[in-house]
Amino acid sequence: MLAQRRHTCRFEHPRSSSSREAPPVKFRRKSTPDSAGTSAEGAATPETGTDTGDTGAGTAPAVGPFDADELPEGGEHHVDLGSLLVPPLPGRDLRLQVNEKSGEVQAVLLAGPDGALEIRAFAAPRNGDLWGEVRPQIAADMTRRGGSATEREGHFGPELVCQMPVRGTDGATGTQASRIVGINGPRWLLRATFMGRPATATEIPQDWIDTITAIAVRRGSSPMPVGEPLPVVMPESARRVDPPADS
């Protein structure tokens, strides 16, 4: 198998009228896609049902993550990734992993000094609990791949604490921990996968809670199958930055 080629692009977010300076957005390209229907964290999506795209208003969570139509004042400073609107956050580096061949964005990550958060939005029905439906699928996929997933109650409701065996570049084996949460919104589901300290801590650290609750989801009005990933687009102002030679 050919080694994956990765490139990094940078997007300088426009500064707001405040003194806060937005961190750069990095984009990584890779030559081969992930397995169909499953992310690096083993999150499968349902394949049945259809969301009709009715534009009837739902009710977004009171403090976020927000529906794009109910984003509080200041939302114009968010990085617009199509279905995801991400604000400039101190101590967070926004990265996009892009398929080298198709140009499609496959992963959106917010990285910090102690961990990372991968976010992805999916089409959901107007009523029902899509997160409750997909949790058993995620857990089963983790088990199939040799890992484990334990369900417990967390800050955002039911969550999965996962352990997955991995092999390092030196050939040594280890375990990668992740914490997967799901938040049902009006016709969308936001799935968030924490890695690093926010995955292993007893409770999600408050600064990482603040990170996810600042995000907004733009569902759009087009009909989509339930569980279909909402499209993520790369900002036009992104520019490629070659990684260091030893990366």
pLDDT, tens digit (0-9, with 9 covering 90-100), for 115-141: 999 999 999 998 889 999 999 999 999
pLDDT, tens digit (0-9, with 9 covering 90-100), for 222-233: 999 999 999 999
The answer to whether 93 touches 26, Cβ cutoff 8 Å, is yes
Q: Which stretches of the chain drop beneath a pLDDT of 50?
A: 1-8, 10, 12-24, 29-48, 54-61, 247
pLDDT, tens digit (0-9, with 9 covering 90-100), for 166-193: 998 888 899 999 999 999 999 999 999 9
Buried b (16+ CB within 10 A) or exposed e, 122-157: bbbbeeeebbebbbebbbebbeeeebebeeeebebe
Minimal CA–CA distance to 198: which of 114, 86, 107, 92?
114
CA angle 69, 70, 74 (to 5 degrees): 100
Domain ranges of the chain: 23-31+51-241
Give CA–CA dist 136/206, Å, rounded.
27
Stated pTM of the model: 0.76
Which two tokens mark 198? 């926010």
Pairing verdict, β 79-80 and 173-185: unpaired
> Would you state the pLDDT for residue 223?
93
